[in-house]
Amino acid sequence: MSIRQREWEARLRLQAFQLEETRRQVGDIELMIADFRRKRQELETAVRYEEEQAGISDLGDVRYPLAAKEMRKRHENLGRSIHDLEKQLEVAVKRVQEAQAELDKLREAAARDGVDLITAPEVAHERLRASL
């Protein structure tokens, strides 16, 4: 394998790694959002239960259950956290798109430079795994 081919493979491997890392981050954010939404739904259910048990649903009532008040605060905090994570997700998705576009450009440039893409990072990575 020529030095030029190794250099291209290194560049492609790095870009492929960056793409996968960004995709992983997107997945992590999506999991957190789903988990927070689930917890938020559980809190809604618990608040309703507390209100039904006390027979009071008016937050302004001095007899309103303290547990329900605290759960409402957590519910609101989770809502804000979900909103913030959704913004982070938008940014991360854009980064994935940019990383994919950059990888595609590198592959095209490597092909124009006559590099055999059969030994591109994905194949080289699989060869490395198989040898371990």
Domain ranges in the chain? 3-131
Average pLDDT over residues 20-35: 97
Residue 60 vs residues 56, 57, 66, 77, 106: alpha-carbon distances, Å: 10, 9, 12, 20, 62
CB count within 10 Å of CB 78 equals 19
Q: How far apart are CA 75 and CA 45, in angstroms?
A: 11
Average pLDDT over residues 85-98: 97
Average pLDDT over residues 30-45: 98
In percent, the amount of the chain with pLDDT more than 70 equals 86
Between residues 36 and 12, the one the model is more confident about:
36
